[in-house]
Structure 1
Amino acid sequence: MQDFLQQTLSAKPPARATGHNDQLSWQWLDEGILELTPHQPCSQALVISAGIHGNETAPIEMLNQLVSELLAGSRPLKTRALIIFGNPQAIACGKRYVHCDLNRLFGGRWQQYDDHPEAQRAWRLEQALETFWQAGCSEENRWHLDLHTAIRDSWHTRFGVLPLRETPWPDDFLHWLSAAGLEALVFHRAPGGTFTHYSSQHFSAASCTLELGKALPFGQNDLTQFSAARAALAAVLSGEPLPPVDKKPLRYRVSQQITRFTEAFVLHMSAETLNFTAFPQGTLLAEDGSKRCYVQQAREYVLFPNPNVAKGQRAGLMLVEDNAHKETSGSDRT
């Protein structure tokens, strides 16, 4: 197999489902799911996913370049790796999703939509994670890096969103996020239907959704803007030194969620509102019939504002700064 992305978009399995080179063995598990195993024993098991939203193409291109180097034998592999292109049908169409948002369906939430292809895909990806991590030993260091780009521009161009976690975040994982060039980290305080929450909750993986820039179509990405993330991914895959850390990311935690419940929902933000825009206490953020959502803290920052989500879905998150905690603090960070 020469090109993992092109093979995935062909909607056909490769002529051979397994292969090897001097560095690794590979196995095509399913459409857009590839397992890579180094010939030497290792203590790390890494899942890297991209294309959970099909129109977020830069991470797909960047990850495919790294996979091509690994398959060609020009890059060593020092960790067990599961590479996932999450939503091949949406990637082929250039759409965020086809029927329903895949990144809201994990943790069994797909059962509400089990007649839709995205629901079936969420179930398949859950199976793939379970099989991958069960094949390793209990002492393996489990990471899940889910690569995205954002719909809107942002005051922080590159940032990470970390799921609810009851145990302290590993120091080496947080250091890796800094080395990947992230300018901010957002810590969830409630469960959700995202891929990273599923891997964290069910497999105790150190998981992060990485927002690495602006969502653009294939052929319009300047991949030099993703050089820090690419170098950090290459380092963890190949056991190389990480890029230097110029500045640690700022920290935020989720203070409240804006949810669309009815067709009457109105989000009081313009289409040009940037992620991490600040609003003062008392600002009316959204209305939904008789429901009103206001800024509750002295200052809150908006993340992922989107009035066009389905009913019952998140239309935005509100954040507060949370830079007082040390990296070794516990679940109060989340």
Structure 2
Amino acid sequence: MDSQLSGGFLKHTLFPPSNFIPSSITLSNGINVSHNAIGVVEITPPKADKAIVVSSGIHGDETAPIELVDDLVSSILDEAFRPTTRLLFIIAHPDAIHAHTRFIEENLNRLFAVKNPVRNKECELANELQAQVQTFFAKGCEEPWHFDLHSAIRASKHYMFGVVPASSKATDVRPLVGFLKASHMDAVMLSRTPSSTFSWYSAEKFGAMAATFEMGRVARLYENDMGEFVPLREALVALMCSEALPAPSSEKGFSSYKVTRTITKTDDAFNLAFSDDAANFTYFAEGEELAEENGTVFSAIAGGEAVVFPNSKVAIGQRAALLVQPFEPDLSEPLYVNVEREPGPIAYSANHSRSLS
């Protein structure tokens, strides 16, 4: 193919020309491919009913998502499948990928709340990615989706799971839960507080069906067992082609969790009461100590809590852990995930002008 992408999306992202110029081509099947920026490719079919962002590389050492995105773009360019949805593929942070580190100066996945002052590369990237997503969703009125693909830095009692951000939009996320099941993910976690993650940005600003996907463990580029993610790839292709989603796994169950609390580090004196390498979803019985900071002790509440993403080394003001409890949503009713509300059938929009049930 006569294109900058002929050597592959990932290769171009990691080793771009010094004089990159946005370009586009139309494939023989009528699909338009636009190379909007380094690490950003847009796919446009003649007609579409959804607009889907699939992002990876927000953290540079989380490489399985990067390989998956590269594979999907290559398959579209090779006309192995023909999308019927508009798509925006992102490989976000080539500098961090080269360095095999989460970030260079600042956690990129905490910079999507506002336009950032450009104090480092991550701030510059966050601003550019926000602009790319805003432009992409503004081009049409299709149903917006966003899958932000990550890998966990620690062991997890659920190897693959989705985190659905809380927003002030009244969005019934049952289709998203259905997609997670079709992808053979192990669990879903429904948030309660606003965040500044990439998936939250799309949920809050555009009412997107959005989630952060945790795909296994971090590994070196091309050292992932991509066979582990075949069900996720198959579900993504089905969604992109407006086909029926695959059936949920018949071999493993699916767990649902709601966030009970977020523990925020406010001082360098913050300490977790357990090992920093504790697995995600490690359970603590009621009353067991979880963390301490300047005499303030955090203990598990009634019913016990499991801990997700514990990290005592985060910057002051950032999340040091999420605490969750299992629950069973009634999927015969709408499932809304609104800020500071129990996940369930009642939701509100940002303007508080209506209540949905």
Do they superpose with TM above 0.5? yes
Q: Which amino acid aligns with 1:104?
A: R
Structure 2 residue matching 1:65: 3-state secondary structure:
helix
Residue number among 292, 308, 326 corresponding to 2:331 in the alignment = 326
Match of 1:68 among 63, 66, 74: 74
Which residue does the alignment assign to 2:204? 201
C-alpha distance in structure 2 between counterparts of 1:327 and 1:274, whole Å: 32
1:133 pairs, out of 134, 137, 149, with 137
Which letter maps to 1:75?
F
**Conserved 8 A contact 1:153-1:275:** yes
Cα offsets for 1:204-245 (capped at 9, x unmatched): 101011111111111221000111111111212233332211
**Shift of residue 171, structure 1, vs aligned partner:** 3.5
- The one-letter code matched in structure 2 to 1:128 is Q
Query: Contact between 2:271 and 2:312, CA under 8 Å: does it hold in 1?
Result: yes
**Partner residue, 1:149:** 151
User: Which residue identity is paired with 2:40?
Assistant: I
Q: Which amino acid aligns with 1:208?
A: A
Q: Is the 8 A contact 1:42 1:79 kept in 2?
A: yes
The answer for the alignment partner of 1:10 in structure 2 is 15
* Structure 1, unpaired ranges of 5+: none
C-alpha contact 2:171 2:207 (8 A) present in aligned 1 = no
1:326 offset after TM fit, Å? Answer: 2.6
* 1:168 to partner: Cα distance: 4.3
- Would the aligned equivalents of 1:265 and 1:286 in 2 still touch at CA under 8 Å? yes
**Helix, strand or coil at the partner of 1:77:** coil
- Comparing 293-302 with 14-23, greater Cα deviation is found at 14-23
Q: Aligned residue for 2:35?
A: 28
User: Percent identical across equivalent pairs?
Assistant: 34
1: distance between equivalents of 2:302 and 2:60? 35
1:291 is matched with 296
Question: Aligned partners of 1:198, 1:285: CA distance in 2, in Å?
Answer: 29
SS of residue matched to 2:116: helix
The whole-number CA distance in structure 2 between the counterparts of 1:119 and 1:208 is 22
Q: Give the equivalent residue in structure 2 for 1:59.
A: 65
> How many matched pairs?
329
CA RMSD of aligned residues (A): 1.7
2:174 touches 2:331 (CA, 8 Å); kept in 1?
A: no
Amino acid at match of 1:82: L
Could you tell me how far 1:308 is from its partner in structure 2? Answer: 1.4
228-237 or 193-202: bigger deviation: 228-237
Secondary structure of the residue aligned to 1:144 is: strand
The code of the aligned residue for 1:214 comes to R
SS of structure 1 residue aligned to 2:259: strand
Please state how far the C-alpha of 1:9 moved relative to its aligned partner: 0.6
Q: Which moved more, 1:161-170 or 1:125-134?
A: 161-170
Match of 1:175 in 2: 178
SS at match of 2:122: helix
Q: Larger deviation: 259-268 or 95-104? A: 259-268
What residue identity is the alignment partner of 1:333? Answer: P
Could you tell me how far apart the structure 2 residues matched to 1:296 and 1:42 are?
Answer: 47
Aligned residues of 2:67 and 2:222 also touching (Cα < 8 A): no
Greater shift, 149-158 or 237-246, is seen at: 237-246
Equivalent position amino acid for 2:96 in 1: A
Q: 1:324 to 1:237 in 2, by over 3 A?
A: closer
Could you tell me how far apart the structure 2 residues matched to 1:123 and 1:195 are?
11
- Higher alpha-carbon deviation: 154-163 or 66-75: 66-75
Trace 1:46-125 onto structure 2 (pairs within 5 A): 46-108=52-114, 110-111=116-117, 114-125=118-129
- Tell me the equivalent position of 2:353: none
Distance 1:286 1:93 in 2: 32
- CA displacement at 1:283 relative to structure 2: 1.4
Give the deviation of 1:14 after TM superposition: 5.4
**Residues 228-265 of structure 1: CA deviation (Å, up to 9, x unaligned):** 11111121223333221136631111111122222212
Distance in 1 separating the partners of 2:202 and 2:332: 21
For the structure 1 residues 16 and 186, does the alpha-carbon distance in structure 2 shift closer, same or farther, using more than 3 Å as the test? closer
| Residue 15 of structure 1: how far off its partner (Å) | 6.9
* Distance change in 2, residues 1:107/1:297 (3 Å): same
Q: Which amino acid aligns with 2:270?
A: F
SS at match of 1:110: coil
Q: Spell out the pairing of 1:235-314 with structure 2 (5 A cutoff).
A: 235-246=238-249, 249-314=254-319
Provide, for residues 81-138 of structure 1, a one-character-per-residue CA deviation record: whole Å limited to 9, x for no partner: 0011122221121110111001111011734xx311101111111111110011112x
How many angstroms does 1:52 deviate by?
Answer: 0.7
